[in-house]
Amino acid sequence: MTVASYGEIMGVFSSNTQPLKYTSSVNFNVAGAECNTLIGLSKLGINTTLLTAVGEDSVGNAILQKLASERINLNYVHQLAHNNTGIMLKEKGIGSKINIDYFRKNSAINSLDIDPFFKTFIENASLSYLTGITPALSKTTYINTIKLIEETKKQNKLLVFDPNYRKKLWSTKKFKNFYKTIENKIDVLLVGVKEAEIIYGTTNKDEITKYALEAGISTVVIKLGACGAFFANENEKLNYDAYTVDEIDAVGAGDAFASGFLYGLQKHTIQDLNLIAPYALAMGALATTSYSDYEGLPNEQQLEEFINYTNIDIER
């Protein structure tokens, strides 16, 4: 299986233990919802390909090196001259709060013309995993996302969609309008309960499922954070509690959850929700145990051990 995704990848400068104003040094990493999910899959042995662009700058160069080290297919990762790479600042706030600021306006992905290759990009994939973040970045990325969705359906490939609403990027009205434009093309919906409330006007899991299935979506997964998740199709509805871990940083947990779901989908069929669910929940939980969005994620053996409660803290 090869999972294809389209989205911006950013350089992240973070202060994990205190606000930026109190530190003299920061950590550097990469981030972006789609990238996080693909790296999680790559760690689990799944082939992935990312369609994106970075600038010809030091941050872009560092990102390319990190992607290569995580075995992401770079055939569709473009480096554009005269464009900057998106930046994300992340700092520890008060209590357990994490403060995040984006500097991504006019970044490279917004200048990327995908017309010459987007059909081949989809053709070489088993399924498309897309989010609602990318179309919110600019008119160009909005149009490109629609093209990729339409091509996915034209080629009879599975479309897995995570709304991933970001209030700093667009209004709830624009977000809902976009979603309604693509809703009937979605096969699998991975949605947070707050996002579902924007889309469907309710937080009731049964009502959300009813509306989604009526729209033609075959599988609905409602992410409930620390309370677990709800998985449903036309035949069954399953509630699962979250795994208990020592949480450090919850940023990126939803992306890792998607990785686990897609990994489970590769091992089983879309109808086997009871077999897929543990992988999604385990990946989401493990993502919270490190400061990076993906550095604490397991490989295939470690994930299986965690799920089967055979993982140990010390190996001798």
In this prediction, residue 226 carries a pLDDT of 87
* Position 90 pLDDT exceeds 70: yes
Encoding tokens for residue 276? 């897929």
In this prediction, residue 119 carries a pLDDT of 98
Q: What crossing angle do the helices spanning 139-154 and 172-182 adopt, rounded to 10°?
A: 20
Per DSSP, 119 falls in state H
Which helix (H) or strand (E) covers residue 9, if one does? none
Over range 6-34, report the average pLDDT: 90
Of 31-40, 222-231, 246-255, the poorest mean pLDDT is in 246-255
The band of 288, judged by pLDDT with boundaries at 50, 70 and 90, is confident
Which helix (H) or strand (E) covers residue 207, if one does? helix 205-214
Residues 6 or more apart whose Cβ sits within 8 Å of residue 67: 9, 30, 35, 50, 74, 77
The band of 217, judged by pLDDT with boundaries at 50, 70 and 90, is very high
Which helix (H) or strand (E) covers residue 301, if one does? helix 300-307
* Position 313 pLDDT exceeds 60: no
Write the CA distances from 14 to 59, 92, 100, integer angstroms: 14, 8, 9
* Contact criterion met (CB below 8 Å) for 229 and 282: no
Of 5-19, 48-62, 292-306, the poorest mean pLDDT is in 292-306
In this prediction, residue 33 carries a pLDDT of 93
Rounded (to 5) percent helix, strand, coil in the chain: 40, 25, 35
* Contact criterion met (CB below 8 Å) for 294 and 256: yes
Encoding tokens for residue 4? 């294809």
The band of 315, judged by pLDDT with boundaries at 50, 70 and 90, is very low
pLDDT tens string 95-112: 778 888 889 888 999 999
pLDDT tens string 132-181: 999 999 999 999 999 999 999 999 999 999 999 999 899 999 999 999 99
Over range 190-200, report the average pLDDT: 96
Residue 127 has, within 13 A of its CA and on its CB side, a CA count of 20
Residues 6 or more apart whose Cβ sits within 8 Å of residue 316: none
In this prediction, residue 245 carries a pLDDT of 85
* Position 316 pLDDT exceeds 70: no
pLDDT tens string 250-287: 777 899 999 999 999 999 999 999 999 999 999 999 98
How crowded is residue 316: how many other Cβ atoms within 10 Å of its Cβ?
Answer: 3
Phi and psi for 204 in degrees, rounded to 5? -70, 120
Amino acid identity for residue 283 in this structure: M
Q: What is the C-alpha end-to-end distance of the chain, expressed in Å?
A: 35
Over range 48-54, report the average pLDDT: 97
In this prediction, residue 291 carries a pLDDT of 66
Over range 192-206, report the average pLDDT: 96
* Position 70 pLDDT exceeds 70: yes
